[in-house]
Amino acid sequence: MSSYITDKAYINGVWCPTATTFEVTNPFSGEVIGKAANCDEALTKTAIEAASKAFVAWKGLTARERAVIFSKWTDLILSEKQALGELITLENGKPLAQSIGEIAYAASFVEWCLEEGRRTYGITVPSPHPSKRMMTIKQPIGVVSMITPWNFPAAMATRKACAALAAGCTVVLKPSEEAPFSALALARLGQQAGIPPGVFNVIPTSRANVAQVGTVLCTHPLVAAVSFTGSTDTGKIILKHAASTVKKVALELGGLAPLLVFDSCDLQKAVQGVMASKFRYSGQTCVCSNRILVQSGIHDKFVAALKDAMEKELVLGDGMKPTTTIGPLINEAGLRKVSDQVKDAIDNGATLVTGGQAVGRNMFEPTLITSVKTSMKCFNEETFGPLAPIYKFDTEEEALSIANNTDTGLASYLFSGDVSQCWRIAEKLETGIVGINEGLFSVPEAPFGGFKESGLGREGSTCALDEFMEIKYMCWGI
């Protein structure tokens, strides 16, 4: 299997056994890949207390001292790219090339944050009073609780944790019960790189314990901030819990990303944009295009070219096989959701162009449907699966109004050869991220986060550390 699989939690620099464990299965084969530590309320409190004690010394280090550790951590992660990639594929079924890509992506957040840690500047404020001088400094907020998802079990751990750690905070991270081992593997490498005990704690927990552990993470008085990636419904619960002690909250939640294809677009670019944004990790990312709107003049050509690309480029199977480009869904519930959306669309008059079937354990064929209506489930529920539903539109106004008619606003995409139209539409789309003639945009240098119910705050970019820092204003009488 993998030498990174462990049935221990990582708390205060110690690999701790737990009273019970839970099984983690490979979503492709159904095989148990290992047993994971099952932390409970008491261990969560222990981890938070350890993080609180460790905060005193960690915040006292200079950013440069922390950067030296982070730099070693980056090198260790990259040197283990193959093994860590295989671990992701075992945990969540992602095709191995994409898993190895995720490890590089994860390491890029460590590297970015170590550099940003040295740039947490305050400002000097022009004083309105002759006898006063004014300035600000930024200070780490304290212990941060983190709850990370299964779809990017390594990259979401580093994107969150490294921003907090580089800011001088300490972290207690609960990975998803579907894919807990990647975060533990990162903790092991962090330990080797010299992260002191208590600074970065990882506490896996079973689904049965999630509610109690999550409640402690979001309400414990020693926790100053909570950072979560996952569904909008869970985000709202976290926000309510965190309100009791007014914690700072960063939320990266769901979306219903519209992708707009205009008559003037470069057809191949648009097709490749859909291929990348729709089918990356079987459609299981928060920024996957969910609602594809195609203008009537190019509609038929676009559908034919997309069908062709899907049938040529998407090979469904075991993520460990080098030929596989699209793997299983994470679990049966994920499969049911896609099947249900396809059935709802077909029952209500959509046309099946390719795919449409569940094929084996957690696997759904890459599916293209046309004649989609805005009332269908696939236009109103996040799919998290390989379904590309096409809605035909006539005018820019119609497309924009459909695109913005949602409670969420994480990402959107538009493909057009008309520069004025690109500007016009990009400015009007109500999302935190817009891909313009581009289907892939995630990098540590740029801000990741959404409008409306897609979340609060931004990950990555020059804003990343601000989520975990307080601004202190100092007013000097002279």
461 binds ligand SIN (CB under 6 A): no
What stretches of 76-127 adopt beta strand conformation (E)? 124-125
State the nearest-atom distance from the C-beta of 304 to ligand SIN, in Å. Answer: 29
Is 286 marked active-site?
yes
Is 169 marked active-site?
no
CB-wise, 54 or 330, nearer to ligand SIN? 330
Instruction: Please choose, out of 41-49, 122-130, 179-187, 279-287, the segment that lies near ligand SIN by the rule CB under 6 A.
Output: 279-287
Instruction: Please choose, out of 186-194, 264-272, 285-293, 430-438, the segment that lies near ligand SIN by the rule CB under 6 A.
Output: 285-293
State the nearest-atom distance from the C-beta of 150 to ligand SIN, in Å. Answer: 10
Using CB under 6 A, which of 442, 457, 464, 465 touches ligand SIN? 442
227 binds ligand SIN (CB under 6 A): no
State the nearest-atom distance from the C-beta of 147 to ligand SIN, in Å. Answer: 12
151 binds ligand SIN (CB under 6 A): yes
Structure tokens at 401: 């109004």
The closest residue (CB) to ligand SIN is 442
Q: Which residues pair with 178 in a beta bridge?
A: none
162 binds ligand SIN (CB under 6 A): no
Instruction: Please choose, out of 15-23, 219-227, 281-289, 376-384, the segment that lies near ligand SIN by the rule CB under 6 A.
Output: 281-289
Separation between Cα atoms, residue 358 and residue 339, nearest integer Å: 7
103 binds ligand SIN (CB under 6 A): no
The sign of the torsion formed by the CA atoms of 180, 186, 192, 197 equals negative
- DSSP codes of every residue in 407-440: SEESEEEEE-S-HHHHHHHHHHS-SSEEEES-S-
Burial class (CB in 10 A: 0-12, 13-18, 19+), 476: exposed
CB-wise, 282 or 295, nearer to ligand SIN? 282
Spatial contact of 449 and 459, defined as CB atoms under 8 Å apart: yes
Separation between Cα atoms, residue 134 and residue 127, nearest integer Å: 6
Burial class (CB in 10 A: 0-12, 13-18, 19+), 273: buried
State the nearest-atom distance from the C-beta of 86 to ligand SIN, in Å. Answer: 20
State the nearest-atom distance from the C-beta of 92 to ligand SIN, in Å. Answer: 12
Separation between Cα atoms, residue 250 and residue 257, nearest integer Å: 20
Separation between Cα atoms, residue 362 and residue 334, nearest integer Å: 8
383 binds ligand SIN (CB under 6 A): no
Q: Which residues pair with 84 in a beta bridge?
A: none
Separation between Cα atoms, residue 214 and residue 207, nearest integer Å: 11
Query: Given 39, 162, 265, 286, which residue is catalytic?
Result: 286
Residue that the structure tokens 């300035």 belong to: 135
182 binds ligand SIN (CB under 6 A): no
Using CB under 6 A, which of 2, 38, 201, 285 touches ligand SIN? 285
286 binds ligand SIN (CB under 6 A): yes
Using CB under 6 A, which of 99, 108, 201, 229 touches ligand SIN? 229
Using CB under 6 A, which of 73, 152, 279, 413 touches ligand SIN? 152
Structure tokens at 284: 């299981």
First to last CA, the chain: 66
- Give the CA count within 13 Å in the CB-facing half-sphere of 337: 17
Query: Given 102, 252, 453, 467, which residue is catalytic?
Result: 252
Q: Which residues have a catalytic role annotated?
A: 252, 286
Which residues are near ligand SIN by CB under 6 A? 151-152, 229, 252, 285-287, 442
